[in-house]
Amino acid sequence: MSELVSMRTDGGVAVITIDNPPVNAIKYEVRAGLVDLVSRAAGGDAGISAIVIACAGRTFVAGADITEFGKPPRPPSAIAVIEALEACPKPVVAALHGTPLGGGLELALGCHFRVAAPGTRLGLPEIKLGIIPGAGGTQRLPRLVGMEKAMAMILSGEPIPVRDALDSGLVDEIVDSDLVAGAIAFARRAVAEKRPLVLVRDREEKLANAWGLSQFDTAAANYTKRARGQNAPAAAITALRAAITLPVADALRRERDLFLELVASDQSKAQRHIFFAEREAAKVPDIASAKAHDIAKAAVIGAGTMGAGITMCFANAGIPVTVVETSADALTRGLDTVKRNYRNTAARGGLATDEMDARIARITGTTDLAAVADADIVVEAVFEDMGVKQEVFGRLDGIVKSGAVIASNTSYLDIDALGRSTTRPQSVVGMHFFSPANVMRLLEVVRGAATSPETLATAIAVGRKLGKVPAVVGVCHGFVGNRMLRLRGVEAERLLLEGALPHEVDAALTDFGFPMGPFAMGDLAGLDVGWRMRKAQGLSAPIADQLCELGRYGQKTSRGFYLYEPGSRTPKPDPEVERLIVDTAAQRGVARSPLGKDAIVERLLFPMINEGARILREGIAQRPGDIDVIWVYGYGFPAYRGGPMHYADSLGLGYIRDRLTAFADKTGDGRHRPAPLLDELAAAGRGFASLPA
Ligand code: 3H9
């Protein structure tokens, strides 16, 4: 018998327990153990009248073991386990807690009944891995909760709370006391009451009352519209549609075929890469034993756009936070922004009123910097200027209690220089949030030369607590994300001179899968921001600078790279901008000629990948996957392409090297010469993924 699955009996009820930490994934040994024990309990032993399937540890089965995907299958499959459960003539009750997800929920759907502990969250998140449920989820879930809800759950991948699961028929009972005891009691009642053992796959009532095909197709179209470029959503819809159009056995086979096709696809490989890279990015081997400080109180310096967003992050996570501004007016403006954001979320149904009030109550505003004295972490989010920030750090040094973390939200500046303006550089770290800070998942945690292991560990732990994806990076101008972004910006401007128009460049990137192209993005953020920064550094951008000189700052002035109708955020190509581009190219003696989409994408992305190689060699990022995580969570790089470095590997580094060499010859820009690391890997026929961990 497998050690990961065990059985005991409790007054005639067999309790089969899975114990495969950390998340009870149903890997081979678990599947084998389950088939063995379920068939034993189901068989002749008259002493056993019912079965409970439960899990040890923090959760019921959270899915298939993702590390097994792409390897030769080892029977029994998850489907075989579910068939064994369904074949059982005795009632089978799943006892759910934690996060029954994916194959875990599918296992539970193979049982006759489901009971759950309070706080359980149930879902089919396969879509986030570029696949669909492959063990009956697309057929059994709609039979329990109806097609509309099943479609929402499977296409979003988001879990639902247990209360919702009870109301929609996914679970039969919430057990407030001991879960397994409650499940055993439920099983005994089922036996005593001779409750009919109807399999979920045979329940037709909710499907029969469900949408007709035309309603189904209308709803499905809404999801596929948003799915741009991804294969899994369309496959999920095909499988769900089969629940209405095919006999269940055929529909299950259809689902399985679609699942197998997707598991083998590049998109799913890319999304699985991101799943594991996300979990790796916050791991720093040399601080593994450092202990994070407890954070009971936080403070944020500055209540501008970033400061207000960061303040909300703490309040959302249940941490009391003091926000400091220099004037009463600025403070009021900042706090108003926070309240408006919360009210908007509440109005959209995203936040209950009492929860909103609780979050707002966690925020204290003040103009007195001394109020941060008892904070365990202070996040500085003042104007992006070294002098201003150093002054703030110097003052904080005299106020903040010993041992507290002093973090800067700078997006470019030298964390070591900020550390040196205090007497405790060991407590200083970068915490680079992305705008809007209360929404964007990425947090670049910047490790200074003097940052102590405890400070770094605390910043990472705080990031997790705030629901962010922390990625640890080293100090350089712009860290990982903005350093690479800058190269993309330079290239985008060059492409305009060489023959492309802003909407063509943007369309090439949105077709690739980015939510927005660089020019629409610049207009949204405000072109004056980059202009000011370039001037300070003695840099220039041929087109953007001229637009700014004309007062075209983007959406806020209704004109930028595009034209915006009053009250609209939809970018419209502007003939005046086209003329300016054509004239500028002529003045510079650049002959313009049309550029194809693929050529545009290569010119924008390959120099970034090259910079990524330099970043790796310099040790600014620990692993290629960290760079991928930063680009997926901070800059909208499509997860189904796995981030820039994974994407580079998928194309082959030899190809990237050759294209970069051609770019360098064409533009005369030395930055385009293949970076030594890229060159070496390409010469050896290797990819970034082959670098030692
Ligand atoms: C599926 O089920 C397909 C079926 O439809 C068809 C076939 C049957 N496999 O996230 P954490 C690891 S597809 C392997 O930090 P948390 C994870 O890498 C699957 N490993 O914990 C990490 O390792 P490490 C559908 C897994 O408490 C450790 O466990 N299911 C898996 O923040 C802890 O993870 C999903 O997509 C796995 N399935 O969150 C659920 N899951 O410590 C994916 C986790 O070495 N999992 N690991 O870095 C999750 O969403 C979260 O892990 C969960 C816990 C919410 C469960």
**Residue 445, token pair as written in the block:** 């945690």
CA dist 262 and 276 (Å) reads 18
1, pLDDT greater than 90: no
Please check whether residue 365 is in contact with residue 330, taking contact to mean a CB–CB distance below 8 angstroms: no
pLDDT in tens, 483-524: 999 999 999 999 999 999 999 999 999 999 999 999 999 999
- Which of 4, 18, 20, 23 is the best mutation target for the ligand 1 pocket, counting ligand atoms within 8 Å of the beta carbon and taking the most? 23
46, pLDDT greater than 80: no
Does 25 sit in the ligand 1 pocket, CB within 6 Å?
Answer: yes
From 86, 126, 278, 444, the catalytic residue: 126
Expressed in angstroms and rounded, the spacing between residue 270 Cα and the centre of ligand 1 is 16
Expressed in angstroms and rounded, the spacing between residue 57 Cα and the centre of ligand 1 is 14
* CA-to-CA separations, 362 to 246, 293, 353, 355, 487, in angstroms, rounded: 53, 20, 14, 11, 41
61 falls in which pLDDT band (50, 70, 90)?
very high
Atom of ligand 1 nearest to the CA of 125: 36
pLDDT in tens, 633-642: 999 999 999 9
Residue with token string 């070591």: 416
Amino acid at 626: D
CA-nearest of 150, 175, 55, 156 to 107 is 55
pLDDT in tens, 130-163: 999 999 999 999 999 999 999 999 999 999 999 9
Does 61 sit in the ligand 1 pocket, CB within 6 Å?
Answer: no
693, pLDDT greater than 80: no
Does 411 sit in the ligand 1 pocket, CB within 6 Å?
Answer: no
Query: Higher confidence at residue 170 or residue 207?
Result: 170
Q: What is the mean pLDDT of residues 67-76?
A: 94
Q: What is the mean pLDDT of residues 410-430?
A: 97
Does 129 sit in the ligand 1 pocket, CB within 6 Å?
Answer: yes
DSSP state for residue 639 in the 8-state scheme: G
Does 101 sit in the ligand 1 pocket, CB within 6 Å?
Answer: yes
What are the backbone angles phi and psi of residue 296, rounded to the nearest 5°?
-100, -30
- Which of 18, 28, 66 is the best mutation target for the ligand 1 pocket, counting ligand atoms within 8 Å of the beta carbon and taking the most? 66
Q: What percent of the chain has pLDDT over 70?
A: 99
CA-nearest of 50, 44, 53, 57 to 99 is 57
**Mean of the per-residue pLDDT values of the chain:** 96
Expressed in angstroms and rounded, the spacing between residue 159 Cα and the centre of ligand 1 is 14
Strand partners, 406: 378, 428
CA-nearest of 83, 35, 33, 84 to 56 is 33
CA dist 119 and 4 (Å) reads 25
Please check whether residue 238 is in contact with residue 136, taking contact to mean a CB–CB distance below 8 angstroms: no
pLDDT in tens, 337-388: 999 999 999 999 889 999 999 999 999 999 999 999 999 999 999 998 899 9
- Residue-wise DSSP of 83-96: HHHHT-SS-EEEEE
Catalytic residue check, 126? yes
Whose CA is closest to atom 6 on ligand 1?
A: 134
CA dist 510 and 267 (Å) reads 17
67, pLDDT greater than 80: yes
pLDDT of residue 195: 96
Expressed in angstroms and rounded, the spacing between residue 24 Cα and the centre of ligand 1 is 9
From 29, 68, 86, 106, the catalytic residue: 106
309, pLDDT greater than 60: yes
pLDDT of residue 536: 86
CA-nearest of 445, 435, 331 to 379 is 445
Q: What is the mean pLDDT of residues 298-320?
A: 97
pLDDT of residue 2: 57
Q: What percent of the chain has pLDDT over 90?
A: 93
CA dihedral defined by 148, 150, 154, 159, rounded to 10 degrees? 110
pLDDT of residue 349: 87
pLDDT of residue 548: 97
Catalytic residue check, 380? no
